[in-house]
């Protein structure tokens, strides 16, 4: 049985693939960026994909991997403009709104903790607020790993987060779709971890081993003393 978020004081929620559909990100980096590189450099799409994926892979798990400005320079592309053309793909996952509405009644500290670069975070929040005007108000704090100088895959991120926000690690639970992030949080001492097993709505669910799994956030809604 999945552990209850009500057993914890602080709820840490990932953004892309947890609160929001990862379809946008997958399409952007796997299709739109390689397409743009191919056009710009007069390459085949396969050559462009190899170039983009090789560059990204070399930085995986580091803060550089999430650095939007770095990749804009690396690929000589206006990624800001490119992501705006895809904004219609940015949407909350099924169950996100119901879960956040329920969670805000539970007297918990709710923190959005994302690896998204500040530019990407600001852009996505502006798009989501057209669909869910109260979205930002559900969180006591919104944190980008860039602000802390370490990716969520690193113990230093969790140390800095807990120190700055005065979070008791054992009294916190993380909901995330990235198994490497979940494992890092567990190693650091974050008390609970729940994996999202269908971050991209266009792909089938895949069980994340070694962690409690849910498909949608509203599966975590349980009766509490506030419901009586």
Annotated catalytic residues are 7
Structure tokens of 42? 């007069």
Q: Whose CA is closest to 216, among 224, 225, 205? A: 205
Sign of CA dihedral 92, 95, 98, 99: negative
Q: Whose CA is closest to 21, among 208, 197, 216, 201? A: 201
Give the separation between CA 190 and CA 169, rounded to whole angstroms: 4
Give the separation between CA 46 and CA 38, rounded to whole angstroms: 9
């Amino acid at each position: 049985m999945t552990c209850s978020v009500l057993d914890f004081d602080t709820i840490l929620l990932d953004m892309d693939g947890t609160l929001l559909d990862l379809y946008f990100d997958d399409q952007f980096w796997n299709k739109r960026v390689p397409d743009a590189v191919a056009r710009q450099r007069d390459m085949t799409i396969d050559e462009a994909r190899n170039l983009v994926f090789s560059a990204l892979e070399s930085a995986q798990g580091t803060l550089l991997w999430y650095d939007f400005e770095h990749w804009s320079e690396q690929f000589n592309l206006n990624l800001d403009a490119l992501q705006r053309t895809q904004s219609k793909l940015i949407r909350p996952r099924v169950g996100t709104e119901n879960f956040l509405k329920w969670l805000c009644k539970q007297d918990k500290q709710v923190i959005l903790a994302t690896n998204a670069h500040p530019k990407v975070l600001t852009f996505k929040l502006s798009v989501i607020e057209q669909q869910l005007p109260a979205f930002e108000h559900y969180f006591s704090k919104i944190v980008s790993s860039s602000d802390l100088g370490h990716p969520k895959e690193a113990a230093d991120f969790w140390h800095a987060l807990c120190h700055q926000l005065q979070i008791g690690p054992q009294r916190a639970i993380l909901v995330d779709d990235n198994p490497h992030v979940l494992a890092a949080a567990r190693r650091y001492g974050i008390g609970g971890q729940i994996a999202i097993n269908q971050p991209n709505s266009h792909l089938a669910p895949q069980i994340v081993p070694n962690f409690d799994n849910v498909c949608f956030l509203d599966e975590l809604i349980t009766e509490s003393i506030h419901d009586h």
